[in-house]
Amino acid sequence: MTHDSDILIVGGGLNGPALALACAQAGMTSTVIDALSTAAREDEGFDGRSYALALASQRLLNALGIWPRVAEHAQPILHIVTTDGRPGEGPVLPFAMHFDTAEMDEGVMGYILEDRYLRRALLEAIEANPKITHRAGETVVDQNITASDAQVTLASGETLRGALLVGADGRRSGVGMRAGIQRTGWDYGQTALVCAVEHEKPHEGTAHQFFMPHGPLAILPLPGNRSSIVWAEAPEIATHIAGLDDAGFLEALRPRFGDFLGEIRLAGKRFAYPLNLTMANQTVKERLALIGDAAQGVHPIAGQGFNQGLADVATLTQVLADARRRGEDIGSILVLERHRQWRSFDRTTLALGMDAVNRLFSNDNPILRIGRGLGMGLIDRLPALRRTFVREAAGVSGDVPNLLKGRPA
């Protein structure tokens, strides 16, 4: 029986389209199915978040032809400053860690890019690619794996066939659930309040992370005198703050934000995201793979979720492209196991590392405060360690797949 495409991708968020484009470049066809309509996705108010893209992710987006479409909206990250803080007191200096782009030989550590630009560029690129079929506004309700096929059934009753089924369908992956894949995770008891602000003074490309007792506050530089805010709070506090009008919201934000950038005001809508950790216990099965948040949904504390998703995209594409060159079946578990093994160390260490950092910092225990202050002060005085952190954050160390080096798979 013929396949509709080589790969069926459920999920047209960010990682699904990125995988489709990467596989198209490597000669494979795919169908991207998403429950949301293109019009809903192109709405400017769809999602207020911005992404801290590691240098390696920027290289992948460049290799896929996406970067030239969004570069003018991206803000290079030149410095990162991480400090302990308390509402009303602002950051507690001198216990701070400073990371500087000058510590990288390869260029800037990364970029901040708003979701709206990235999402639109990915949608336009998959719509224009002859190797990709985009089925927007269609929901997958069932799936079936046979010896020769991966099949999905849409709500309309239509069935599609491919050699491989990829779940890029987010944190509550239906593809994973229907395949009987269990998940491990927990709620953080935190909600992220997300918005953009305009400020009087220039940010000079500095990203700030303040560790507050209920959760971290990230201030990420955007082009111009604007920054994106990811502000994690205990759910009851977050619900109260989210319910305030814009003036009340700013009044709550100001003492946490501090006055180092002068007067601030809201730029655009506000959003709220409950935070949890959710890891799929298996990321591959016969003719099936999970990528992006469907594989690992992590805390946004270090802005690594989408970067991890793009690492999935890069390794899976390379493994599939190599298999095709050798004449192997791309849905075979032997092939997919290579992807799992390649990603396994990074995905587990990152998820648990972010979890540990969040637990260590999101509290007001005086002993932990002293300990983390000393730890930050120590790291700040060790250039070799700082350089290791910077290179890790940029995604350029370790066994990096070709796309993350900016080369075709």
Ligand X SMILES: Cc1cc2nc3c(=O)[nH]c(=O)nc-3n(C[C@H](O)[C@H](O)[C@H](O)COP(=O)(O)OP(=O)(O)OC[C@H]3O[C@@H](n4cnc5c(N)ncnc54)[C@H](O)[C@@H]3O)c2cc1C
The smaller minimum CB distance to ligand X, of residues 10 and 264, is found at: 10
Residue type present at position 305:
G
The smaller minimum CB distance to ligand X, of residues 16 and 324, is found at: 16
Contacts to ligand X from residues 138-197, by CB under 6 A: 139-140, 168-170, 174, 192, 194
The binding track of 223-252 with respect to ligand X, each residue x by CB under 6 A or -, is -------x----------------------
Contacts to ligand X from residues 110-139, by CB under 6 A: 139
Among positions 278, 307, 315, 358, the unique one binding ligand X when judged by CB under 6 A? 307
Rounded to the nearest 10 degrees, how much is the dihedral formed by the CA atoms of 91, 94, 96, 102? Answer: 120
Instruction: Please report where in the chains the tokens 């602000």 appear, as a residue.
Output: 197
Backbone φ and ψ for 184, nearest 5 degrees, come out as -120, 140
The binding track of 35-54 with respect to ligand X, each residue x by CB under 6 A or -, is xx------------x-xx--
Note whether 5 and 109 are within 8 A (CB): no
Note whether 16 and 174 are within 8 A (CB): no
Q: What DSSP character marks residue 354?
A: H
Size of the site for ligand X (CB under 6 A): 33
The smaller minimum CB distance to ligand X, of residues 258 and 309, is found at: 309
HEC-encoded secondary structure of 282-313: CCEECCEEECHHHCEECCHHHCCHHHHHHHHH
Among positions 34, 84, 114, 346, the unique one binding ligand X when judged by CB under 6 A? 34
Instruction: Please report where in the chains the tokens 């782009």 appear, as a residue.
Output: 101
Q: What DSSP character marks residue 268?
A: S
Among positions 67, 257, 306, 342, the unique one binding ligand X when judged by CB under 6 A? 306
Integer Cα distance of 165 and 156 in angstroms? 19
Q: Which stretch binds ligand X (CB under 6 A): 88-96, 303-311, 328-336, 366-374?
A: 303-311
Q: What DSSP character marks residue 101?
A: G
| Binding flag, residue 13, ligand X (CB under 6 A) | yes
Residues in the chain: 409
Contacts to ligand X from residues 313-372, by CB under 6 A: none
The binding track of 51-90 with respect to ligand X, each residue x by CB under 6 A or -, is xx--------------------------------------
Query: How far out from the chain centre does Cα 214 lie?
Result: 22
**Residue numbers at the binding site for ligand X (CB under 6 A):** 10-16, 33-36, 49, 51-52, 139-140, 168-170, 174, 192, 194, 230, 273, 292-293, 300, 303-307, 309
